Structure 1
């Protein structure tokens, strides 16, 4: 059962809305997480697009127990302020987008780590509203946007999140943006209805074109 997502602090104006994922879209996740694992004597092998089964002991490459992998991800979220850095030109690009559109961060993360992420984003001067949830993203975007007759865009690195948003808000522009890495080469590809962005500059061009056509 999905948790209730509190949108009370999200105030939208009479202008387009860009909903943006955070990990490996606004903030680097994979590379800092690999350094975090290394500091604890573990290593990530890019054998598939999964963490479970691919995190091993650096000493003997024995896979780490699934329960410990899950805990390591939570520990990383707890310590994210010490490890995560901006992804590409996210900071400057989002500030430009924010001049003509509302921007809301929608991050797939247990809500109890919201405060840490909020501090980190604020430190980067990315003060846009933040929602942390483990619920499917589509219904959250639909709840946020409502029936507003204004352009809507969604930026994310995960194919299943684009599927969720497409089902809930069919009129939304879907932009797929992710890092280049050996592990990301195994990532599921989004459908043909999703725009592929090479980097933040490319994503910005797609968003601004979409916003100006409405």
Structure 2
């Protein structure tokens, strides 16, 4: 068993065994984000109008119809993360799929959010039966995944809905299986598409098939 230490994002609580590693995003991969965030915004007197793949410029006041400034958008996102336990819910079959995969591989959640809200997310994931290690960071994901997996000669898999995160991991971990998963949301329709050797997983059962095939191939 390997204990991971890092001077930037705290990885000291992650202990990997000598087996393959899955590093998985949370928002809009494991837990719905866009749909409950839209409901949350309506309760705050705002609306998300997807015109581009970003939040700033697309969240408007329902009263004035004026787009909110970046600082106000960030405050709303942070308020949502503060209240996430009341709003977010898992995708179909994610709990069962990760539980089954977790018998043979190590699973680590890597969520792009301020570490301040890590305990809120930890409680929510635990309540859902997803008790895998959790890392909350606003750093680029590629270097974090590289530090986690290090030089271990074992298969690795990274799952995310954002092209830039998938590209970041690709640039730091050459043999990693990169899985693109995203919900069918009006916002994600406008998202940049991943380039290169990145595989689209349509749902969690499909992701499990791709992961097991990668592990069987022995690619490290």
* TM-score, normalising length: structure 1: 0.97
Provide the rounded CA distance (Å) in 2 between the counterparts of 1:89 and 1:59. Answer: 39
RMSD: 0.9
Match of 1:189 in 2: 193
Name the counterpart of 1:79.
83
Q: Segments of 4+ in structure 1 off by > 2 A? A: none
**Which residue in the other structure is 1:213 paired with?**
217
2:9 and 2:175 map into 1 onto residues whose CA distance is 22
Measured in 1, the distance between the counterparts of 2:206 and 2:114 equals 30
In the other structure, the counterpart of 1:12 is 16
Cα deviation 1:22-50 (Å, max 9, x = unaligned):
00000000001000001111000011111
Q: Normalized against structure 2, the TM-score is what?
A: 0.94
Give 1:1-214 correspondences, 5 Å limit. 4-214=8-218
Distance 1:48 1:172 in 2: 30
In structure 2, distance between residues paired with 1:33 and 1:165 = 27
SS at 1:211's partner residue? helix
In the alignment, the residues of structure 2 paired with residue 183 and residue 166 of structure 1 have an alpha-carbon distance, to the nearest angstrom, of: 24
Superimposed CA distance per residue, residues 156-187 of structure 1 (whole angstroms, 9 cap, x where no aligned partner):
00000011101111110000000001111100
Report how far residue 59 of structure 1 moved: 2.4
In structure 2, the gaps of 5 or more residues are 1-6
Aligned length: 212
Residues 134-153 of structure 1 show CA distances to partners (whole Å, capped at 9, x for unaligned) of: 00000100100011000000
* Unpaired segments ≥5 residues, structure 1: none
Instruction: Measure the CA separation in 1 of the matches of 2:186 and 2:88.
Output: 19
Shift of 1:65: 2.1
CA drift at 1:53: 0.3
